[in-house]
Amino acid sequence: MGLMTFLRNRAGYILIGAIGFAIVAFLVGDAIQAGKPFWAESQKVVGSIDGEDISIDEFGAKVDQSLAQFKQQYGGSGNAQMQAMAVDNVWQGEIANILLGKEYNRLGLTVSDAELMNLIRGENPSPLIVQYFGNPQTGQVDRAQVDRTFKEGYKDPAMAKQLLAVEAEIEKQALQQKYAKLINNSLYVTTLEANDDHLRRNKLANFKYVLLNYASIPDANVKPTESDYSDYYNENKNRFVNPTETRTFEYVSFSVNPTAADSAAVKTQVEKLAADFRTSTNDSLFAANNSDVKVPYTYITKGKLDPAVDSVVFNLPAGSFYGPTFSGNSYKLVKVINTRFSPDSVKAAHILLNPSKLGGVDKAKKVADSLKTLIQKGASFASLAAQYSEDGSKDKGGDLGTFSRGQMVPEFENAAFDGSVGDLKIVTSQFGVHLIKIEKQVGSSKVAKLAYIEKALASSNKTKDAAYKKASAFLNEAKDGDFAAIAQKHGYTVGVADKITPTQGFAPGLDNPRQLIRDAYNADKGDVLDEVYSMDNGFVVAKVTNILPEGTLSLEQVKKDIEPMVRNAVKAKMLKEKLDKAAQGAGSIEQVAQKVGQPVTPVVNMALANPVILGVSQENKVVGAVFGSAPGKLSKSIDGESGVYVFTVENFSNPGPLANTYKQKEAMMQVASQRSLGSAFQTLKDKSKIKDNRVKFY
């Protein structure tokens, strides 16, 4: 495995990241290649950021790398949502690279060769160097490994490319740190601000209130006018800025879930398979060829299988046959090949030999056997590992630490777990020839070697064809009619996917909607999309019902969304009138409560920094008014989030003077600095012209 494997196993992480860890830059090709019309290249542009075009060729390669890392991190083969995450991750990284890069140049921020060398080999190395070359327990960097990697690595072209990527990422992180420090040095907290924050958090109010809840007036009794809508819209216009264009579509889904006939057919197939499996002479091959789910033909511990199967199989003796049994959505068949007790974990070391450097596997085995003989005669395993091993563990004497089942390739795992402490074993794996030394075995649990078959309950082609015919017939009918009315006529349920963004990888009720979303962005409002879309569990027909453009939305575009708030605003006027009338001539809040038939509710120790009225809601406006009122005075009616209030402040509890102004300022500065880089980056984005064409490609 050597240096190349060592860095290959880790270097993937440097190719992902957004603002916090800038993505490794790829050179963007010329916009127009000789001999090609200009529009041929424009069709390959994923987007432009502040005048710089992003090519799909280079962007796509980064997406593939990002998706591979997500698969490694989260498991699975990668679904539509994971793909969308990878695409967005790379896009945000491109924005960061270009905009921050221009900002660094404008400010004259650079990293000299001496600084870069110090970040790689100096006393205070880059976090990346610590990550790749540091001891997980102590954090100490293996400087010898760093020197060797950066000296020897450039002799190998593939390794050199990896190292250049590491250096580029270290440089970008250093530039980002300089930029962050520059911004943070511009921050300042005044003494007045420190004292205000101290009061906001520590001054306490005790008050009593009467609440007329909006729910006390039925919605049916409230009919907002156009003026009500207009007033609310104008007062809250800043809330209606749409950061990106969205589409809303209705859809009808035609299920392809297995029918009773499908279930019977699968059951018959599984019963025949079980009969053949019982008499099979090559269990591992039979299982591999017939199972929808691949379970390694090796010893496994309890808890790895479906619980309904796991609890039974591990109580069966070797030679037993279990199934077919149905659980989840599949039939299971299991042959218990053998059972025994095995260590829970193993501590081992190894020497890895590369057959290609030694003339083939047979010669590598002979070298391993010679090394084994030397060790048996008293030679140091660690010294021989440092001299002969091709693995990154050679500098630790071949030490691989402690590992449990499932962490090593099967050949290596079987040797380590099946042997005894002190054994020296020679095995061949996909990495080469290993000489393994078993140093310690911990614990003991029952393990089983199983031949495992799982067959999913799937729909037949007949069922799928019937669902597709229904969907096609509905599509043809809906193109020339009322989508919702036609669906209702046939008894179909209409789903709604509201405000879907161009690059979104999911939609409510749909398991694989990317192509549908892409087509929706090539359609107009009111269009029924031309295609019957295939999902994991059915077919879908859809219609675009609304398009909201980027920017400030008009009243008509948000009217439906703001209807509940406008209705509450109308209720607030009605309830304020009722409370104001009750307050006329009232000498106390108790008298107001009596007139409106509501209780007086006390609140103690309310802080302005946490304006939540227990049992009601967060009431910023009401609590703000409380702290601006004089004790003993009946307030005017105030419309809040849950209803209309009147209150009386009983008293305030003022905190003592701020004991340590410097410490308070320092805490506020820390909070501000944590937000500063993100705020600066958002400002750069807001001031830049960014065109996003990703929906054309993903």
pLDDT tens-digit readout, 646-691:
999 999 999 999 889 999 999 999 999 989 988 999 999 989 999 9
How far apart CA 625 and CA 207 sit, in angstroms, is 11
pLDDT of residue 151: 79
For the residues 612-626, what does the mean pLDDT come to?
96
DSSP string, 628-679: TS-TTPBPPPEE-SSEEEEEEEEEEEPPPPPS-HHHHHHHHHHHHHHHHHHH
Q: What pLDDT does 154 receive?
A: 79
Note the pLDDT of residue 156: 77
Looking at residue 137, its pLDDT comes to: 65
Crossing angle of the two packed helices 555-583 and 589-596, in degrees rounded to 10: 110
Output the CA–CA distances (angstroms, integers) from residue 329 to 255, 263, 341, 375, in the order listed.
16, 11, 31, 53
**Could you give the 3-state DSSP secondary structure of residue 31?**
coil
Over its C-alpha atoms, the chain yields an Rg (Å, rounded) of 34
Q: Which residues, in sequence order, are CB contacts of 201 under 8 Å at separation 6+?
A: 607, 608, 609
Q: Is the pLDDT of residue 30 over 60?
A: no
- Find which of 70-74, 79-83, 441-445, 687-691 is predicted with most confidence, using mean pLDDT: 687-691
Span 209-218, average pLDDT: 96
pLDDT of residue 468: 96
The beta strand positions in 8-160, using DSSP E, are 45-49, 52-55
Question: What pLDDT shows up at residue 71?
Answer: 83
pLDDT of res. 35? 36
- Dihedral sign, Cα of residue 216, residue 219, residue 220, residue 224: positive
Q: What is the mean pLDDT of residues 311-323?
A: 90
**CA–CA separation, 211 vs 611, rounded Å?**
16
Amino acid at 686: D
Average pLDDT value for residue range 81-92:
89
CB 641 within 8 Å of CB 618 = yes
Residue 37: the pLDDT is: 38
pLDDT level of residue 34 (50, 70, 90 thresholds): very low
Q: Are 670 and 222 spatial neighbours (Cβ–Cβ below 8 Å)?
A: no
The CATH number of 246-257+460-549 is 3.10.50.40
- Cα–Cα dist 88/694, whole Å: 9
**CB 81 within 8 Å of CB 147:** no
Q: Where in the chain do CATH 3.10.50.40 domains reside?
A: 246-257+460-549, 345-442
Q: Which amino acid is at 608?
A: L
Report how far residue 647's alpha carbon sits from residue 601's, in angstroms, rounded to the nearest whole number. Answer: 9
How far apart CA 436 and CA 372 sit, in angstroms, is 9
204-240+556-653 CATH: 3.10.50
Of 430, 373, 441, the residue nearest 402 (C-alpha): 441
**pLDDT tens profile 511-565:** 889 999 999 999 999 999 999 999 888 999 999 999 999 999 999 999 999 999 9
Kindly provide the b/e burial profile for residues 362-378, where b requires at least 16 CB atoms within 10 angstroms of the residue's own CB.
Answer: eebbbbbeebbeebeee
- Global pTM reads 0.67
Lowest mean pLDDT among 38-42, 166-170, 410-414: 38-42
Q: Report how far residue 127's alpha carbon sits from residue 134's, in angstroms, rounded to the nearest whole number.
A: 9
* Percentage, residues of the chain above pLDDT 90: 64
66 alpha-carbon distance from chain centroid: 12
Residues 163 and 143: their CA atoms lie apart, in Å, by 16
**CATH 3.10.50.40, domain 345-442, yes or no:** yes
12 pLDDT above the threshold of 60:
no
What kind and span of H or E run contains 226?
helix 226-235
Q: How is residue 690 annotated by DSSP?
A: E
CA-based nearest residue to 56, from 504, 697, 695: 697
DSSP state of 102: H
Distance between CA atoms of residues 243 and 501, nearest Å = 10
Q: How many CA atoms lie within 13 A of 221 on its CB side?
A: 7
Q: How many other C-beta atoms lie within 10 A of the C-beta of residue 13?
A: 16
Q: Which two tokens stand for residue 167?
A: 């250096």
Lookup result for tokens 């009315």: 485
Mean pLDDT (whole number) for 72-81: 75
Instruction: Tell whether the model's pLDDT for residue 18 goes beyond 50.
Output: no
More confident residue, 631 or 430: 631
Q: What is the pLDDT of residues 237-287, one digit of tens each?
A: 999 999 999 999 999 999 998 999 999 999 999 999 999 999 998 999 999
Q: What is the mean pLDDT of the chain?
A: 88
Q: Does 218 sit behind a cis peptide bond, omega within 30 degrees of 0 on the bond before it?
A: no
pLDDT digit string (tens) for 120-156? Answer: 988 888 988 888 887 766 777 888 888 888 877 777 7
More confident residue, 558 or 30: 558
Q: How far apart are CA 284 and CA 295, in angstroms?
A: 10
pLDDT (average), residues 358-375 = 91
pLDDT interval class at 42 (50, 70, 90) = low
Tell me the torsion sign for CA atoms 358, 359, 360, 363: negative
Alpha carbon distance 413, 346 (integer Å) = 9
Confidence (pLDDT) at 91? 94
Q: What DSSP state is assigned to residue 617?
A: E
Residue 82 is predicted with a pLDDT of 85
Structure tokens at 292: 């929808």
Mean pLDDT over 406-414 rounds to: 86
User: Across residues 598-611, what is the average pLDDT?
Assistant: 96
